[in-house]
Chain A
Amino acid sequence: ELKVEQNPLFLSMQEGKNYTIYCNYSTTSDRLYWYRQDPGKSLESLFVLLSNGAVKQEGRLMASLDTKARLSTLHITAAVHDLSATYFCAVEVEDDMRFGAGTRLTVKP
């Protein structure tokens, strides 16, 4: 059974700091997705990673995929308050799409 684990589940950081969110999964896959969810809102697609070594960047967020380690990271650079949200990774294996539990990020001044 495909399992997806994110850590940390809760992250409180100061503006201007850097941090990384980790997404580990249990079954071989080369398709990984990152989503963002603001409080009371739906999920919004951030990144799609489709191969080993894939790296995508958007603003202060950078996502990478290591299929051999079954690990994806979401790196936050110089955090700002607007990045406060819950971040989900999702792993696709054949017809199964499994989401992690989410990382609730709070960026404080």
Chain B
Amino acid sequence: ETGVTQTPRHLVMGMTNKKSLKCEQHLGHNAMYWYKQSAKKPLELMFVYNFKEQTENNSVPSRFSPECPNSSHLFLHLHTLQPEDSALYLCASSQPDRGTNTIYFGEGSWLTVV
């Protein structure tokens, strides 16, 4: 069992759809992240939550809306996406105050926008 689980693993959605990606971490970490990985760009940090509070929004378009109800769960709500938003979305967690900030990634959600 991985420490960070993401669902769904694959998602195809139309540009007018509303969908959500879900992430759960079982590591007792306080920080959770959303990253975007595509063929065109290296790993892009999208959002950071620390103790459920959003500490970073890396100039992400409003069609991506994160939600962190508690330290173990993180959602990414998707609405009116564009085809260029098709990518692998990786959730991750870490515990920055344990000396190192090793990030533990989930398996990712492959998103295709048609």
Contact = CB atoms under 8 A, between A and B. Distances in A.
A41 B107 contact: yes
Contacts of A88: 42-43
Interface centre among A31, A42, A99, A102 (most CB of B within 10 A): A42
A57 interface: no
Interface residues on B, range: 10 to 19
Contact of B102 (A33, A101, A102): A33
A4 B65 CA distance: 27
A97 B90 contact: no
A48 B100 contact: yes
A45 B107 contact: no
B45 A97 contact: yes
A50 interface: yes
28 contacts: A31-B101, A33-B101, A33-B103, A35-B105, A41-B108, A42-B105, A42-B106, A42-B108, A43-B103, A43-B105, A44-B105, A45-B103, A45-B104, A48-B102, A50-B99, A50-B100, A88-B42, A88-B43, A90-B103, A95-B55, A95-B56, A97-B45, A97-B101, A97-B103, A98-B45, A101-B42, A102-B42, A102-B43
Interface of B: 2, 42-43, 45, 55-56, 90, 99-108
